[in-house]
Structure 1
Amino acid sequence: MDRQAYIQIEQRDGVATILLSNPPMNVVCGPLTRKLYAALRVLEADSQVRALVLTGAGERAFCAGSDINEMQDMLQPGEVLEKKLVFQNKVFEFLRTFPKPTIALLNGYTFGGGLEIAACCDFIVAASTTKLGLPEVKLGVFPSSGGTFRIARRIGIARTKQLVFLGESVSAETALAWGLVDQLAEPAALKKTGYDLAVRLVAMPRASVKSAKALINDCYDKSDAELISQSLLASDEVFCSADALEGMSAFVRKEPPRFA
């Protein structure tokens, strides 16, 4: 696999898979972040893509964090913002708000920026052998691309402080118990497990999923009144769709719906 590829894309049956490809540990660097953003923009516009899977190339890591050698050149005031964090946060937020359902498939070590990427996805499926953590404190820094607040939304403040303040890793089993990941699979079955979930998502009505995702994502940031208004606007559109007609007609016919 080309070391300079950074991102590889596979598409099948409405599912697009992005492979983070920066051997040996698929660490986050400037070129990878830029290519990830470009890939997400292309897949957002592709009407044939209805679900997105992110995973790491190889068998060792999903993504083991940021490129430390790269960061050593960003130690002057303002440099890390200009050269890394401003754009990286833009890309990660774009992934979080991606209008199609997303799955992070953790096939190995998932640390630092890798866990921050995973936390932007709708579902996280991990190999049972995976180790996860936010070790940035051991480098004298902290998770600066959503690892504090997005992880806290998943597992609560107390456990997030444990991860961030101590910088220790947790097992896949602990991550599942905490709600940090949604499902475990044996390493040999991980790819199929993730693909099967993606296929189920592909079969769902896309406008319904898109609208529901936006509302759920906004639930911590907007008032109930704002969310009700947003929900009403989306409902008016969705209830007039061909998929709504098909879904309700199929229910009456007692048949599985066939959404567009």
Structure 2
Amino acid sequence: MQAKSFIQVERNERIATVVLNNPPMNVVCGPLTRELYRTLRALEAEDDVRVVILKGAGNRAFCAGSDIHEMQDMLQPGEVLEKKLVFQNKVFELLRAFPKPTIAAVHGYAFGGGLEIAACCDFVVASQGAKLALPEVKLGVFPSSGGTFRIARRIGIPLAKRMVFLGEIVDADTALEWGLIDQLCNADQLDETVQSLAAKLSAMPRHSVTAAKSLINDCYDKSDSELLSQSLLASDKIFCSGDAQEGMASFIRKEQPRFS
């Protein structure tokens, strides 16, 4: 009997869609995390893949958090780190630092670890009716895979404290107002909306986007002098690229550039 695959990958030209395949709620478990790591590493190395979309299987949830039954075996000192959190944080950080643009397509529930996954992506597009929350405190724990600091960076400290301390559900309209998501669309238009954004991103010059993403991601973690040095080194390399030549020549010709 073939083992279940917790991650599926769909390809559409330069766009790869990574499907969290643990229905009905697509909860995070050890096997899913390990498969996600292998998948991201493989897609990172594929030159033909320019954009990665993350979505949940089925129609109920993007990802409703971690598998509580699995975590019941991690209640002794050191066990949750060894069995779950150290590697899970490594995988989520890999997603955050992924060199190519990433989009979370959120429908239904994005709770706990699911919201932590979405927060690692460059763009979070949600459909009407989506519900987002960090409810871990209601289990006597707290968001331990970046939900505290990454959500605070997205929506500010006061709102992040409200989400984390109270574990309340945030509806899609409020999430958009807070900046927890970047775009909101009708439920039947989610795939189309995400694919349209991904297509635009895939047409951009990849090295320019990668360099810019790295600088933006580092903006809270490095000094201005470090960021300036990083920017200058990247600029010197990119200004010598074929994409730079194509972009400037196309501008002069008043044509749309065709980046490699």
Q: Same fold (TM over 0.5)?
A: yes
Structure 1 partner of 2:169: 169
Return 5+ residue gaps in structure 2 as ranges: none
Task: Return the offset for 1:67.
Answer: 0.1
One-letter code of the match for 1:136? E
CA distance in 1, matches of 2:208, 2:170: 35
Q: Secondary structure at the match of 1:234?
A: helix
CA distance in 1, matches of 2:107, 2:208: 30
Structure 1 partner of 2:133: 133
Q: Could you tell me the TM-score, scaled by structure 2's length?
A: 0.99
Please give the per-residue CA displacement for 1:131-173, whole angstroms capped at 9, x wherever unaligned. 0000000000000000000000000000000000000011000
Task: Return the offset for 1:84.
Answer: 0.1
CA distance in 2, matches of 1:145, 1:124: 18
Correspondence 1:155 to 2:159: no
One-letter code of the match for 1:225? S
Task: Return the offset for 1:24.
Answer: 1.0
Task: Give the count of matched residue pairs.
Answer: 259
Q: Secondary structure at the match of 1:184?
A: strand
Return 5+ residue gaps in structure 1 as ranges: none
Please give the per-residue CA displacement for 1:226-258, whole angstroms capped at 9, x wherever unaligned. 000000000001000000000000010111111
CA distance in 1, matches of 2:237, 2:132: 40
CA distance in 2, matches of 1:213, 1:87: 24
Task: Return the offset for 1:3.
Answer: 8.8
C-alpha contact (below 8 Å) 1:113/1:145 kept by paired residues: yes
Correspondence 1:115 to 2:115: yes
C-alpha contact (below 8 Å) 1:20/1:54 kept by paired residues: yes
Q: Secondary structure at the match of 1:22?
A: coil
One-letter code of the match for 2:186? E
One-letter code of the match for 2:135? P
CA distance in 2, matches of 1:13, 1:226: 36
Task: Return the offset for 1:109.
Answer: 0.3
One-letter code of the match for 2:129? T
- The alignment's C-alpha RMSD in Å is 0.9
Percentage identity across aligned positions?
70
CA distance in 1, matches of 2:114, 2:211: 27
Structure 2 partner of 1:54: 54
Structure 2 partner of 1:239: 239
One-letter code of the match for 1:74? M
One-letter code of the match for 1:11? R
Structure 1 partner of 2:248: 248
Structure 1 partner of 2:11: 11
CA distance in 1, matches of 2:208, 2:47: 15
Q: Could you tell me the TM-score, scaled by structure 1's length?
A: 0.99
Q: Secondary structure at the match of 1:27?
A: coil
Q: Secondary structure at the match of 1:52?
A: strand
Q: How is 1:187-198 mapped onto 2 (pairs within 5 angstroms)?
A: 187-198=187-198
Task: Return the offset for 1:4.
Answer: 2.3
Structure 2 partner of 1:229: 229
CA distance in 1, matches of 2:4, 2:173: 34
C-alpha contact (below 8 Å) 1:4/1:22 kept by paired residues: no
Structure 2 partner of 1:206: 206
One-letter code of the match for 1:195? Q
Q: Secondary structure at the match of 1:214?
A: helix
